[in-house]
Amino acid sequence: MPTWNSRGLRGSTLEEFINRTNEKYAEHNLAMIQKIPTPITPINIDKETRHITLAYFDQKSTVDYIGAVQGIPVCFDAKECHTDTFPLANVHAHQIQFMQDFENQQGISFILIFYTQRDEFYYMPFRQLYEFWERAQNGGRKSFRLEELNPEFFLPKKSGILVPYLEGLKKDLELRD
């Protein structure tokens, strides 16, 4: 069973960037997005500092973030990738199911990928993720390459916004019409 400290702080920089972005979006009344905490059960707690030093995950989490953008329900997960190939093992079946169910309720699901070596963010609409997922489930590649991605969904650098994912959401919505 995975433990809390076995995963270290993987993704914490990306999540911090997204949290700051969410604060900016909320300040400007553009979106209200909440980070969903992963339920854990503490095993060891440092008595002096009262910090958890070892814990295990209670249950499978759904996605990292959920909320609304101008009345549109959205949910998304944040992933880091250190190469140009993204392993689909980083996305779990229960997350795919949750995002699919969310979409079936007229919500918008997506993942944000931070390509760390390139310092680039990518907004991946759920339908694109699902295509890659289905390919893997049907015996195809268990990953996708950078060159397979739609260049329109790489997020532009924007002053004051660390991860301008509303730009990707806008494109996503335009393509759904």
Structural domains of the chain ordered from first start: 4-176 (3.40.1350.10)
**Closest C-alpha among 51, 33, 59 to residue 166:** 33
Tokens of 47: 């008595």
- Residue ranges of the annotated binding site for Mg(2+) are 62, 64, 77, 95
Is pLDDT of 7 > 50?
no
Residue 3 region, left (φ>0) first, then alpha (ψ -120 to 50), else beta? beta
- Picking from 41-45, 98-102, 133-137, which range would have the lowest pLDDT averaged per residue? 41-45
- Residue ranges of the annotated binding site are 62, 64, 77, 95
Average pLDDT over residues 141-152: 97
- pLDDT at 146 (0 to 100): 96
Q: Which residues contact 97 (CB under 8 A, 6 or more apart)?
A: none
More confident residue, 39 or 133: 133
* Cα torsion angle, 170, 88, 67, 9, sign: negative
Average pLDDT over residues 111-137: 97
Helix boundaries (H) for 28-151 = 93-104, 126-137
Is pLDDT of 87 > 80?
yes
Residue 39 pLDDT level (bands cut at 50, 70, 90):
low
Residue type, 134: E
Strand intervals (E) in the chain = 31-35, 40-45, 52-57, 65-69, 72-81, 85-87, 108-115, 120-125, 143-145
More confident residue, 164 or 45: 164
Contact of 116 with 81, CB cutoff 8 Å: yes
Average pLDDT over residues 27-54: 79
Q: Is 12 helix (H, G, I), strand (E, B) or coil?
A: helix
**Closest C-alpha among 41, 49, 56 to residue 5:** 56
Q: Is 68 helix (H, G, I), strand (E, B) or coil?
A: strand
Please state, rounded to an integer, the average pLDDT across all residues of the chain: 88
